[in-house]
Amino acid sequence: MPQLTCENLTVGYDGKKVREDVSFAVERGDYLCIVGENGSGKTTLMKTILGLQSPISGKILMGEGLKPTEIGYLPQQTEVQKDFPASVREIVRSGCQSRCGLRPFYTRTEKQMAQEAMCKMRIDDLAGRCYRELSGGQQQRVLLARALCATQKMLLLDEPVSGLDPAATAEMYRLIEQLNREDGITILMISHDVGAAVKAASHVLHIGETTFFGTKAQYLHHIAQEGGDNTHV
Amino acid sequence: MRKVIYALALCLVAAALSGCAGGQQPPKTAGSVQAILDAAEKDTTSDTASKPETTTDAPASDAPAPSSNTDTTGDVLPQTQPKPENIGKTVDLTTMSSTMVYAEVFSMTRFPEDYLGKTITMRGQFTVYGNTKSGTPYFAVVIADATACCSQGIEFVLAGEHTYPDDYPKEGDEITVTGQYQSYEESGGVYYHLADAEIVSE
Amino acid sequence: MYEIVQKLGQYWQYPFVRYALIAGVLIALCSSLLGVILVLKRFSYIGDGLSHIAFGAMAVAAVMNLTNNMPLVLLVTILCAVLLLRGGQNAKIKGDAALAMISVGSLAIGYLIMNLFSTSANISGDVCSTLFGSTSILTLSAYDVWACVILSIIVVVAFIVLYHKIFAVTFDETFAKATGMKVEAYNLFLAVLTAVIIVLAMNLVGSLLISALVIFPAVSAMRVFRSFKAVMLCAAVISVICAVLGILTSILAGTPVGSTIVVVNIVMLIVFAVLGKVSEGARA
């Protein structure tokens, strides 16, 4: 059984449909890239998968013992976070909250886990630094480390490289690929930058006028047939 | 983190204990909105309604004073009698800041039992109120709080024979008055004033 | 200097001075803890709105001649806090407009009720002392102080126990929700806490000046400190120091308590802003 299956999913908010009839399945260890124009409902789809809003119709099925709360999430930066006084360590550890339940403190294991996540994201030397003083790329890595504390199974990334310079973008893609290859974490990533994103992906979900889902090879074939697309792959 | 929490907890316990040590005042009986002498009261013709003190504070009956630990044996004493330990004690409001004076006068009108028998010296505006045409006028020292929006007054009765207005200062003059804080009954209500008072010359 | 110490020693004899300091310290502590969260969540103005609502409730309680107005005021304020903080996320009426309307509305209605029905002889005095907290902290009864101590203990303990969760929810509500935290429950809890603290703080500075007590220590602390824990602790310390200094100044110099505390807070903010600039310069 696939780790995550969406069947004829219609998503939207306040009863307004944003995207209808989306179906796809993600196997463990897949790297799915979700592409599509602005306003095509990528973020809404992701929020629906995360359980932040309920689907208008259709089904979301989880397999292989994946629980809805075990999906790590890298949201787009919010206004609040830009000048939030918090150290990197505090933020990464807060990813462990989901497993804390009502326990008020972090256990040694959880602190250890946060430390490992920071090492993996190469931000362990920034642990005591203030989040708002970091560069965009560093901030994204902090949030990714936090997401790693929340899950070891599946990560949903919403535009992880938006606003980053080319070097930071490349580093980010490299880290995500590494998580996928070495740690076997399933990746679902929303991206504008179709070319760069599709390079590492194993599967592509294109939502827009028509919804396409398939492996990277199928997708490349698909857009080659469509012909008119100006994406550089 | 834990250390910080222990420290905070300690502080709280300390604060709670100190609150406990001072917590022997009788419970509040009237609404917390203060009944305060209004300047307009000067013209009222009703005697009883125009007392400067909190008339809503019916003090003796519904305000048992748990603070009187020392005279638990003498429970027959009415609450309005001065406590023996108060006699001879003085409260000098003239040396205090205006904020303190206001708070102390407020405390005197809310918990009069604690002040009965004490000799009070206070400075404020001389005010006459009551029925000035037919009945006896009442005299009071009025003080205002720091924001000047609230004022409170304490009535006083001069020692010896005096006639109004000849023997009294002009209304609105700043005066200093010394007298013993006492209770008296009139028209079924209990009021407080400074008895045997004298106006201290500057 | 010696004279000041002597004077303070003399004033310390008065129970209401001790009450004022105990209550002042506790209220300042609680309001600063909460203030950090409210400022970060962009809810700085909520304190102001809720305090006006509390004022309206107080007016009603005064007219009804309740001997103890605390429960009624607390209840009304909690209800409004829950409505406002929940509605803040996706209400039809924009959050800030709703807040402004409710706060001004209850202020007006409260004042009107007091004027029309009050049995007290001095309405302007009542209103003024409720709004500006001229001396109300110095007129607390033992009952008020006890209520204050108990509520403060609850607030501080709740903050300590839920510290990490509060951090997670404040920093990133979406992420917290996605990973299965009960964000709504925490927001509700925060709303209730806000209401409780506002009602307590009305005694200290009056309802017009509450925002200062909530916002200033948090903003001051954020100038200098860069981790959440340090900001929280620093805000608490600043707030307590300002409250004590403010109360002592006002009883020594005869100034109104509420505004004195606020002025001390403003001075503290300036000091911390300068410190922040200096430390930033040293860093660069």
pLDDT at B12: 45
Question: Contact C18/B40, CB-based, under 8 Å?
Answer: no
Report the C-alpha gap between B143 and B93 in whole angstroms.
11
Helix (H), strand (E) at residue A7:
strand A4-13
Q: Tell me which residue has tokens 């003090």.
A: B59
Instruction: Please give the residue range of the domain that contains residue A107.
Output: 77-152
Q: Do A165 and A55 belong to one domain?
A: yes
Q: Is residue A72 part of a domain?
A: no
In this structure, of A92-101, B80-89, B143-152, the range with the lowest mean pLDDT score is B80-89
Q: Which two tokens stand for residue A108?
A: 């040694």
Q: Do A57 and A158 belong to one domain?
A: yes
Distances (CA, A) of B131 to A30, A49, B152, C76: 95, 81, 20, 43
Last residue of a domain, one of A126, A152, A178: A152
Q: Tell me which residue has tokens 């609105």.
A: B172
pLDDT at C124: 63
Question: Contact B36/C15, CB-based, under 8 Å?
Answer: no
Question: Contact C179/A133, CB-based, under 8 Å?
Answer: no
Residues of A in contact with C176 (CB under 8 A): 94, 97
Helix (H, G, I), strand (E, B) or coil at C206: coil
What residues in chain C have per-residue pLDDT under 50? Answer: 88, 90-93
Of residues B162 and A95, more confidence is placed in A95
Q: Do A60 and A12 belong to one domain?
A: yes
**Domain boundaries of chain C, sorted by first residue:** 2-274
pLDDT at B53: 41
Helix (H), strand (E) at residue A41:
none
Report the C-alpha gap between B106 and C138 in whole angstroms.
9
**What percent of chain B is helix, strand and coil (3-state, nearest 5)?**
30, 25, 45
Residues 6+ away with beta carbon under 8 Å from B182: B82, B116, B117, B192, B193, B194, B195
- Pick from B85-94, B141-150, C30-39 the range whose average pLDDT is largest: C30-39
Q: What is the CATH number of domain B85-201?
A: 2.40.50
pLDDT at C16: 85
Q: How far is B54 from chain C (nearest CA, A)?
A: 10
Sign of the torsion formed by the C-alpha atoms of B104, B108, B113 and B119: positive
C 208-247 residues with CB below 8 A of A?
Answer: 222, 225-231
Last residue of a domain, one of A112, A128, A152: A152
**Domain boundaries of chain B, sorted by first residue:** 85-201
Question: Residue A212 maps to which CATH number?
Answer: 3.40.50.300
Question: Contact C164/A97, CB-based, under 8 Å?
Answer: yes
* Contact with chain C for residue B7, Cβ under 8 A: no
Helix (H), strand (E) at residue C168:
helix C163-171
Of residues B90 and B176, more confidence is placed in B176
B 84-143 residues with CB below 8 A of C?
Answer: 95-104, 106-107, 110
Buried b (16+ CB within 10 A) or exposed e, C180-198: bbebeebbebbbbbbbbbb
Amino acid at position A169, single letter? T
Report the C-alpha gap between C63 and C56 in whole angstroms.
11
Helix (H, G, I), strand (E, B) or coil at C38: helix
**Contacts by B83-90, CB closer than 8 A, 24 or more apart:** B83/B113, B83/B114, B83/B116, B83/B117, B86/B114, B86/B115, B86/B116, B86/B117, B86/B118, B87/B117, B87/B118, B88/B119, B89/B117, B89/B118, B89/B119, B90/B118, B90/B119, B90/B120, B90/B121
pLDDT at C230: 93
Last residue of a domain, one of A135, A152, A169: A152
Q: Do A86 and A106 belong to one domain?
A: yes
Residues of A in contact with C177 (CB under 8 A): 50-52
C59-71 per-position pLDDT tens digit: 888 777 776 777 8
Q: Find the radius of gyration of the CA atoms of chain B.
A: 19
pLDDT average, residue stretch B10-23 = 40
Beta bridge partners of B176: B123, B200
Report the C-alpha gap between B93 and B104 in whole angstroms.
8
Report the C-alpha gap between A191 and A157 in whole angstroms.
9
Report the C-alpha gap between A129 and A116 in whole angstroms.
17
pLDDT average, residue stretch B121-136 = 75
ipTM for the predicted complex: 0.84
Q: How far is A40 from chain C (nearest CA, A)?
A: 21
Q: Do A159 and A138 belong to one domain?
A: no
Decide: pTM greater than 0.80: no
Q: Find the radius of gyration of the CA atoms of chain C.
A: 19
Other Cβ atoms within 10 Å of C63 Cβ, number: 18
Q: What does the angle CA C247 – CA B59 – CA B70 come to, to the nearest 5 degrees?
A: 80
Q: How far is B64 from chain C (nearest CA, A)?
A: 14
**Strands of the A31-35 sheet, one edge to the other:** A71-74, A154-158, A186-190, A31-35, A203-206, A212-215
pLDDT at B80: 54
Question: Contact C164/A84, CB-based, under 8 Å?
Answer: no
Residues 6+ away with beta carbon under 8 Å from A119: none
What residues in chain A have per-residue pLDDT under 70? Answer: 227-233
Q: Is the pLDDT of residue B201 over 80?
A: no
Q: Tell me which residue has tokens 């709080």.
A: B145
C245-268 per-position pLDDT tens digit: 999 998 888 888 888 999 999 999
- Looking at domain C2-274, its CATH superfamily turns out to be ABC transporter involved in vitamin B12 uptake, BtuC (1.10.3470.10)
Q: Is residue A54 part of a domain?
A: yes
Q: Tell me which residue has tokens 């009222």.
A: B44
Residues of A with CB under 8 A from a CB of C: 50-52, 67-69, 71-73, 75, 78-81, 83-87, 90-91, 93-95, 97-98, 100, 104-106, 128-130, 132-133, 146-147, 150-151
Q: Tell me which residue has tokens 């920093």.
A: C171
pLDDT at B82: 59
Q: What does the angle CA C62 – CA C66 – CA C68 come to, to the nearest 5 degrees?
A: 105
Distances (CA, A) of A55 to A9, A14, A59, A76: 7, 11, 8, 21
Q: Do A98 and A210 belong to one domain?
A: no
Measured between CA atoms, the residue of chain C closest to residue A14 is C90
Residue C207, phi then psi, degrees to nearest 5: -75, -20
Q: What is the mean pLDDT of chain B?
A: 63
pLDDT at C268: 95
Q: Is residue A71 part of a domain?
A: no
Of chain B, the percentage scoring pLDDT greater than 90 comes to 0
- The total number of structural domains in chain A stands at 2
Q: Do A148 and A100 belong to one domain?
A: yes
